[in-house]
Structure 1
Amino acid sequence: MTFDEVKPEHVLRALKEYDELGGDVFLAKYGFGRATDYLLVHDGRDYDSKAVLGAAQGHAVGRPATHDQFSGGRTGAAKVLEDLGFEVVRGSSRDVADVGPVEAQAAWAAAAREVLIDAARRYHSITTYRELADEVQSRSGVTTSQLMHHWIGDVLLQVARENAEKSEPALMALCVDARGRVGPGYAKAVEATTGAPPSEPDTHAAQERLRCHQFFGAPDLPSNGGRVAHTPQVARARDRVAKAAAPAMRPPQVCPRCHMAIPATGVCDQCG
């Protein structure tokens, strides 16, 4: 989403509204959570940067931007606000032990949804579990020293449940491991949200990725609707398996006299 119509005066109106309503009411009105990663600083006060930009869009065009239409990170709301001349600072991070596992998972799931929607809006784009884990901690401001595989699956399951509730394609399909494959949690999440596990998780994920690009409006999606594509690593592995399973092509027998191919009878038609 772009914010080409938003001017500094629209942001100032949003800030005034924030002050008049109070932070909690303002956030509830526009459907945003508390910003923990990037804060807008104005006249000595801190504001939730992403929510302010969403409201400013409403003042500019008559319809505010919702939380799932854009990201709040360094390349998202923070950059837009800085380009408009406002000061944006990095918020303080909190450890999962400080906020509790339930709040941490909720914050990570909200951030993961943002990251994956960003990927969905770029045709054939994917992210890795490691990249996602780092980005959700950065965006949410909630960090953990736990190994990624202990918690990222539960986060993606929350995202998958929200997708199912909203009749959306599975955003978790856009997240793969270093081999380009979906992890074991993918099939479990599909089963939990649809009632049946996929027979071929990587193929199922490839189909869901295309649906994500279509549903969330990737601007570079081809006019024909795009095509289902495995990750390059999975595609190469499937090609190797297919070649290994194909019967070996034997060179035809050739008559030593006329050098013509000998038929199945084993007798040259020319030389007898």
Structure 2
Amino acid sequence: MTRRGYWREADGSPVAATEAHEAWAREAYPRLSGVAGTYHAVITYKDLGEDVQQASGIRTSALLHNWIGAVLGRVVHEAHRRGDPPLTALVVRTDDGMVGEGYREVLELSGEQVTTEATDRENHAAVSRLECYRRFGATLPPGGGEPALAPRLEAALARRRAREPEPPAPICPTCFVQLPTAGTCDNCA
């Protein structure tokens, strides 16, 4: 028989969704703090979802995207209450390495402008990840490290940049010769 809803793994007893979300958020906080202990580390939504269910002993048949936002929302508020950087910046999608739409809650809570641009959200998350690494004891490179996009996203962007053709060199509009680096035509100047 396939279980539906939320239940305790030990005895199969049902659990209310809000109780499960609270339990999972309590498990998520130390898990994300641990991830932050390694420079440039991230965790996928899927892996975090499995980790919190395993650690709490509470399971669900609900699809991950139907409950993980409620759990991470609690983590966002707890990090803010503690004065910690937003640990949810460490949670990325499996397919593209980006934070999800729910990251806007971090921006709202911190009083920053909420953006619909994925690039802006990713850049904010990169800065937040660096703050997490610093706060939770990651060994940083000399100079303290730089904000970085999640590794999978950075690799995808690097592949895209490699496929883009190089822009054509500027041409003098008078004699149609390629301009030197200085930008002034040697023939016409």
The TM-score, its normalising length taken from structure 2, stands at 0.76
Change (3 A) 1:134 1:94: farther
CA distance in structure 2 between the aligned counterparts of 1:207 and 1:224, rounded to whole angstroms: 15
User: 2:39 aligns to what SS in structure 1?
Assistant: coil
Instruction: Give the C-alpha shift of residue 243 in structure 1.
Output: 7.0
Please identify, of 131-140 and 233-242, the stretch whose mean Cα deviation from structure 2 is larger.
Answer: 233-242
2:80 aligned with 1:183:
no
1:248 aligns with 2:168: yes
1:265 aligns with 2:165: no
Residues 230-257 of structure 1 show CA distances to partners (whole Å, capped at 9, x for unaligned) of 123322444436974862348x8xxxxx
* Corresponding residue for residue 195 of structure 1: 111
Q: List aligned pairs for 1:19-168, cutoff 5 A.
A: 92-93=9-10, 98-168=14-84
Q: What secondary structure sits across from 1:99 in the alignment?
A: coil
Offset of residue 201 of structure 1: 0.9
Q: Deviations over 1:54-91 (max 9, x none)?
A: xxxxxxxxxxxxxxxxxxxxxxxxxxxxxxxxxxxxx9
- 2: CA distance between counterparts of 1:206 and 1:263? 42
Pick from 122, 130, 133 the counterpart of residue 213 of structure 1.
133
Q: What percent of counterpart residues are identical? A: 38
- 1:100 Cα deviation from its structure 2 partner: 1.3
Q: Which runs of 5+ in 2 are unaligned?
A: 1-7, 178-185
For this pair of structures, how many residues does the alignment match?
A: 166
Q: Report the AA paired with residue 138 of structure 1.
A: Q
Distance 2:73 2:24 in 1: 11
User: Scaled by the length of structure 1, what TM-score is found?
Assistant: 0.54
Q: Which protein shows a greater Rg?
A: 1
- Structure 1 runs (4+) greater than 6 angstroms displaced: none
The 2-side partners of 1:194 and 1:245 are apart by: 40
- Note the aligned Cα RMSD (angstroms): 3.0
What secondary structure, in the 3-state scheme, does the structure 2 residue paired with 1:98 have? coil
The equivalent of 1:224 in structure 2 is 143
Residue 223 of structure 1, CA deviation = 3.6
**Structure 1 stretches lacking a partner, 5+ long:** 1-90, 253-261
Give me the whole-angstrom Cα distance separating, in 2, the residues matched to 1:132 and 1:161: 18
Aligned CA distance change for structure 1 residues 249 and 123 (closer, same or farther; 3 Å)? same
